[in-house]
Structure 1
Amino acid sequence: MRTASCPPQRHYLLVHADGYPLTTEGRLPDRETFEREQVGAIVAGIDDYVKGYDPHEWPGKRPRPQLVLFIHGGLSPHAKGLARVQDFLDAQKDRRANPEVAASHFVFLNWDSDLWGSLVDDLCCIRQGDRSQLVGPLTAPFVGLARAAEAVFLAPRAWYFQTQNAVDGFREEAERDQCNPLSVRRVEDEEERLNVPAAASFFAFYPLRLLSVPFIQSFGTSAWEMMKRRAALVFAREKALPPRDWVKEGAGRLLVTALRERLRTSGAWWLGGTEQRDLDVVLVGFSMGAFVVNRLLQEFPEIHFARIFYLGAASSIGDFEASVLPYLRQHRETREVKAAQFWSFSIAEADEAGQIDPPDVYERGSLLVWIDNYFERINAPTQRTFGRWRNLRLHFKTPEGFQGQIFLVKFDGRGWRDPSKHGDFDEPKTFDRLLRMREADCPEGRGLMPLRFPRR
């Protein structure tokens, strides 16, 4: 896995599909190597950052150092994760274009969410949650036949949701939200219009879409379930992790346990003895990374995060209510530290439903649309994805008592810098603009607020 351009170890930790740590060569490190060269390197990197941080280099923009713990989403093998780390490090070199990214220190938790590996796990390897070397391969043909049969017999269901989503994707976005009067910008209601080019190209390849969507539903659901298994193992407790040498807990848990020792004081990083420095910590979950974020907040509620970001979160509304709300309730503003803030970012509804990935011959829509329509069995509204604006508009209301803590942001897709695809949130230039958002851009954290990027 290691290449000549492999980014510095101090910026990431690799996690195996079964939850234990990995070296860049794809091996399990021994305990000493893990503690010294992986976790030790990450902690030392943060030490160097806070010691060398000069607020005068960032006048009026970033007076305090900022650590970003970034957890990526699904469909991301380790090679893609390492490339993402390098992209962000390269973006830090351009301070003018990416001032917030340049001023921050990044640590990436790179868990294995590879699509093909997840499919193989479902077909050949994972049985009742365990990796089976005997039963898995023996039963693989039967599992494969079952998935194919499921695609055939559930095809009408898939076609129904395909048609429903196509209609949503054909509509040009008309603002239907009840905008909070404290939003940065109110959008006037417009007549809903048919997007003729989107409709025409959809029907041009309709036979291929008709044939492919049942198999996307069947085999995609099994891969999705395997990816959720992998996300759950990142912070697995002892005995919940498949046994592997000295490792008894998930790699993410081992890392955050070490960081917790240095984050013993809210809003500060402990350097040893009586010395500590100011440090804001931003916890970021992109897409499926929100599952890992939720688990982290449940397992380490004592760590104070200045901000928590959901970037197109693939986890459900119910997951948010069970994980994030209790955390925010525990981290109110005190004399010593500001209240923890939660920010959720979504793209426009029409962009979400009509997302096209070349060559545009299979089902349209973002991953969140596929999850809601095909991969999850939705039995209650709160089981829908949190990152999809349609779900927030119809099924979520910000609870009372979280004034100034919860910020829900939808980009309307009309601005030339607005993210218009689910994957845009994963790009350094987009993420830099999200980091720039403060209360000045969303005066009060309540209600549903359509926004564009702040013009700066």
Structure 2
Amino acid sequence: MKSILMLIFLIFITGCSSSPKKLYPEINKHMVYINKKGELKDPTTGKIVTSDDDINIYINNIIEDFEKSGKKKITIFIHGGLNTFKNATQKASQVLENYDDSESFIIFVGWSAGPYSNYWDHLLFIRNGERRPHLGPITSPFILIEDIAESVSHTPRAITESVMSQASVPKPKAFDSKEEKAYRSSLKMLESPKLINIRMTGETTGLNMKDILPVINPIKFITAPFVDGLGSGAWDSMSRRTELLVYNDSAFKGQKNVKTGLEKLLVGIECKEKIDTKSQINGTEEYLNIDGIRCRKRSEFQANKPAITLIGHSMGTMVANNILSRQPDLNYQNIVYMGAAAKLKDLEANVVPVLLKHKETKFYNLSLDPYREISESHMLDSVPRGSLLVWIDGYFTRIASFNDKTAGNWFNIIRAANIIFPDQAKKQVYLTKFGFKSGPQNHGEFDEYKFWDEEYWKGNKITPLVDIQKK
């Protein structure tokens, strides 16, 4: 059991995580990291910032550093799931060392998405959506039995899903599946007349025999059910943690000061809350104090409202949806989803209202070629094929309707685009697919390129984050 669990988690780690690099000096002026309880964690020391005053000081330092930079724009990047604290901070350091946008100040949002801690939370502590430190461990044997029983009971479905996903490969159109026929019909509808900006780079070619043949590795018949049964618990825990970035674990316990460091940062950027008589003005009367956050006076803020580019990778798009929902009045210039694990219906509920309200805002949805997505393999092909998005749609979540599927899958977004994006917002939408030998080839590679570059979002200029020759 332990070896199977470790195998699955090793696969998870390759799904969204990135290779580690050395820590960047003063990374704490460019990063807000929220732990599994919604607490702010200092990326330089690894310590929890406990008091509300210290949290305010930390956030104000970021805001002041942005103002000192003289830049007028802010890029907020949220990493995907399955990243540990070390992965997240070192990836941010790697990006900071190669960041070359002279107009935009970059801020990283990190969160506790490590695979082990999420499954242990599911097994030992989280009950009915809440952390139960006493009841959880007592009931953990029953949860484990339930997970194993679910794995066993789902064996036929898991094996079928594994075999079917391997059989989906490029082939003559005469042999298209129902999904492929629906995709081609939807694509034709979007392109003629041109309703949405669509860019497809590279080719759907280059798959070798290992990719094309439906390789039946007997080990998959053992691992597939456990990917389904055990992986679902870890997924539920990670999904819960995407919520904790905007309010902490004590938010529903009648306590004060439940705003996380991330939400305080957004308040500091936007200063959107009403200024009442209780707000304190400092000695120079240039700034207002709202919840302890240093805010510009309203008139000054309106004249210097920073343009925001919000970028989410994989499960980071679920966090981005929460930001859009709670802070819809930020001056969003670009919203960029890379390999989005967010559901189509959540994209419709959170992104579309912002597009309708802010006519200048552009939305970019970046996807892998669907056949690269389907054929992505791990651990010598000993587990079911497919990227994390394929696993989410096939194993981890219950798909009650088409809009429950992930928005980052190219087939999904093309088939749904005409429905979820209203006519008045379609011209603001850009859908980009990276084909064979053109940009990212696996789900975890989107942030291995200069993901802050608009030309990358459009598929026009694909520049590796680090020169391949230097790796």
**Equivalent pair of 1:19/1:241 in contact (CA under 8 Å):** no
Separation (CA, whole Å) in 2 of partners of 1:210 and 1:143: 23
Partner of 2:41: 22
Say which SS state the counterpart of residue 213 (structure 1) adopts: helix
Say which SS state the counterpart of residue 396 (structure 1) adopts: helix
> TM-score under structure 1 normalisation?
0.79
Deviation readout 1:410-438 (Å, 9 max, x if unpaired): 122243xx2111111122x34144x3358
Partner of 2:215: 202
Separation (CA, whole Å) in 2 of partners of 1:238 and 1:121: 13
Cα distance, 1:28 vs. partner? Answer: 3.7
Change over 3 Å in CA distance of 1:404–1:235 after alignment to 2: same
Change over 3 Å in CA distance of 1:360–1:133 after alignment to 2: same
Is 1:401 equivalent to 2:424 in the alignment?
A: yes
Deviation readout 1:311-361 (Å, 9 max, x if unpaired): 1110111001111111111112xxxxxx11111101100011111234432
Cα distance, 1:274 vs. partner? Answer: 4.3
User: Which residue type is aligned with residue 430 of structure 2?
Assistant: F
Say which SS state the counterpart of residue 314 (structure 1) adopts: coil
Change over 3 Å in CA distance of 1:186–1:359 after alignment to 2: closer
Separation (CA, whole Å) in 1 of partners of 2:84 and 2:158: 28
Q: How does 1:280-319 map to 2 (within 5 A)?
A: 280-319=307-346
Which stretch shows the higher mean deviation, 25-34 or 349-358? 25-34
The runs of 5 or more residues in structure 2 that have no matched partner are 1-21, 174-179, 275-293, 464-471
Is 1:357 equivalent to 2:378 in the alignment?
A: yes
Partner of 1:167: 167
Is 1:380 equivalent to 2:396 in the alignment?
A: no
Partner of 2:60: 40
Partner of 2:368: 347
The runs of 5 or more residues in structure 1 that have no matched partner are 54-64, 93-98, 333-338, 442-450
Is 1:137 equivalent to 2:137 in the alignment?
A: yes
Deviation readout 1:83-125 (Å, 9 max, x if unpaired): 1110111112xxxxxx44x653210111111111000001111
Say which SS state the counterpart of residue 271 (structure 2) adopts: helix
Which stretch shows the higher mean deviation, 364-373 or 397-406? 397-406
Separation (CA, whole Å) in 2 of partners of 1:88 and 1:247: 32
Cα distance, 1:453 vs. partner? Answer: 4.0
Partner of 1:217: 228
Change over 3 Å in CA distance of 1:170–1:135 after alignment to 2: farther
Partner of 1:158: 158
Change over 3 Å in CA distance of 1:189–1:346 after alignment to 2: closer
Q: How many residues align?
A: 404
Is 1:88 equivalent to 2:95 in the alignment?
A: yes
**Equivalent pair of 2:199/2:431 in contact (CA under 8 Å):** no
Partner of 1:79: 86
Deviation readout 1:229-251 (Å, 9 max, x if unpaired): 1001111289635688x642233
Deviation readout 1:349-374 (Å, 9 max, x if unpaired): 00111112344321221110000000
Is 1:254 equivalent to 2:264 in the alignment?
A: yes
User: Which residue type is aligned with residue 333 of structure 2?
Assistant: A
Partner of 2:239: 228
**Equivalent pair of 1:312/1:347 in contact (CA under 8 Å):** yes
Change over 3 Å in CA distance of 1:200–1:304 after alignment to 2: same
**Equivalent pair of 1:126/1:132 in contact (CA under 8 Å):** yes
Partner of 1:56: none
User: Which residue type is aligned with residue 110 of structure 2?
Assistant: N
> TM-score under structure 2 normalisation?
0.77
Cα distance, 1:5 vs. partner? Answer: 5.2
Which stretch shows the higher mean deviation, 68-77 or 255-264? 255-264
Q: Percent identity?
A: 25
